Amino acid sequence: MRNKTTYACQQCGHQTARWMGRCPGCGEWNSLVEEKMVSPAKTVRLSPLSAPIPVTDVAATEEERYATGLKELDRALGGGLVPGSLVLVGGDPGIGKSTLLLQAAAALAEKVGTVLYVSGEESARQIKMRAQRINALHPNILLMAETDISVVERHIHELSPAAVVLDSIQTAFQPEISSTPGSVAQVRECTGVLMRVAKGTSIPVFLVGHVTKEGTLAGPRVLEHMVDTVLYFEGDRHQSFRILRTVKNRFGSAHELGIFEMRDFGLIEVSNPSALFMGQSSRGVAGSVIVPSLEGTRPLLVEIQALVCASGFGTPRRMTAGVDPNRVALIMAVLERRVGLRLAAHDAYVSAMGGVKLDEPAVDLAIALAIASSFRERPVQDRLVVLGEVGLTGEIRAVSGLEKRLQEAAKLGFSSCLGPLWKHQRDSLGIINYIEVQSIHEAVEAALGR
């Protein structure tokens, strides 16, 4: 009997009966690969209940967590590692994913028990060389260079380790599937095997995932849906700082942030990231504004810099780093219409310093004042922080977590804040002066003068 085959997109997982040059699902060209059809993975019974019962009758138990030994990793995980969880860690090649998980494995081996470290990209000798360099040697770390997921599953059941690390999911393969490792079918089936193992044995599993040139996780999107937590390890390889960003978490906040610094002996945690991003701030210089951003539950003070200059071409340039370029274009339109700044014939460059990415609306006013400051060649007031969302009509809208932001600013010595209307008690926050503004025109006058 002839084996049935299908053509699966290696980007989005869309399947068709025949080959097509362009994927109907995501529009990617030449991404359909012929694969042998396999039976779907076995279902996982997450609860022993056989019949529906009222939610009020379900026994409520507090989640058990244990520390990984890295406080920044625990923060990104929502407070610690949950037994039976499936955690996916993605990032660019050479950014430090393996180093991070090897340090976490050493800490877990010291405090919890045996950790099984499976590598499909490196030999056991190479892993030991890295462990010696970062001082992560421990007899409870068991190394295995293997890509066959059935062999890995058998060893997990035999050893019953406290945690498992698989580096990486794109190198694992299921022998029953004829497609190559890293394909949609292989990634989906191997992840399904590890999910059944994690849920059935309550053993937490870390997966390392590759990313595409666009910065997203390689493989089908179903991979992110299957796991419990998705972490992105970001940073410039030419700089020493790394950011561990949570984009999905079933056991905590999906907007947490962990900060690390890469050294020769491994990753070290940054306990005061605001001081890191503020260490070389350009005080008294036009185009520089400080914004207290809120990433999850952590307030961060970040410097926003802007440079506005006359355009030498017919079409002005709009370039950004760390902030949304579409949001910057919108704010510039509001400045031109509501404040009267003639920016249409000027180039604009906006950057969030320190390599951090800011995507919350609370940074709108800081971007607007940085652009206005550079355009007018007037610096903002000294020791001033700025926050607020800018509307299309020029109004300054309220933001969440205002008290946390102001407390962080006061802790770093800032004496005043420019922001939206706020009716709460603020005597105990340490902010000497809170300047309330209702429109972007008022904000520009308050920060730069007439």
Is 69 marked within a binding site?
no
Is 91 marked within a binding site?
yes
Is 374 marked within a binding site?
no
What stretches of 23-162 adopt beta strand conformation (E)?
A: 32-36, 86-91, 115-119, 141-145
Is 93 marked within a binding site?
yes
Specify the amino acid at residue 139. Answer: P
- The count of other CB atoms within 10 Å of the CB of residue 173 is 22
Distance in angstroms (rounded) separating the CA atoms of residues 229 and 435: 40
Cβ distance 363 to 387 under 8 Å?
yes
Is 98 marked within a binding site?
yes
Let me know if 450 is exposed, middle or buried by CB neighbors in 10 A (0-12, 13-18, 19+): exposed
Is 401 marked within a binding site?
no
Contacts (Cβ under 8 Å, ≥6 apart) of 438: 395, 396, 420, 421
Distance in angstroms (rounded) separating the CA atoms of residues 366 and 376: 15
- The count of other CB atoms within 10 Å of the CB of residue 134 is 17
Cβ distance 289 to 373 under 8 Å?
yes
Chain position carrying tokens 């999905």: 248
Is 97 marked within a binding site?
yes
Chain position carrying tokens 């180039």: 347
Is 423 marked within a binding site?
no
Tokens representing 216?
A: 């997203």
Cβ distance 304 to 367 under 8 Å?
yes
- The count of other CB atoms within 10 Å of the CB of residue 2 is 4
Distance in angstroms (rounded) separating the CA atoms of residues 264 and 370: 37
Q: What region, left, alpha or beta, does residue 320 occupy, with left being phi > 0 and alpha being psi -120 to 50 degrees?
A: beta
**Residues flagged as binding site for ATP:** 91-98
**Residues flagged as binding site:** 91-98
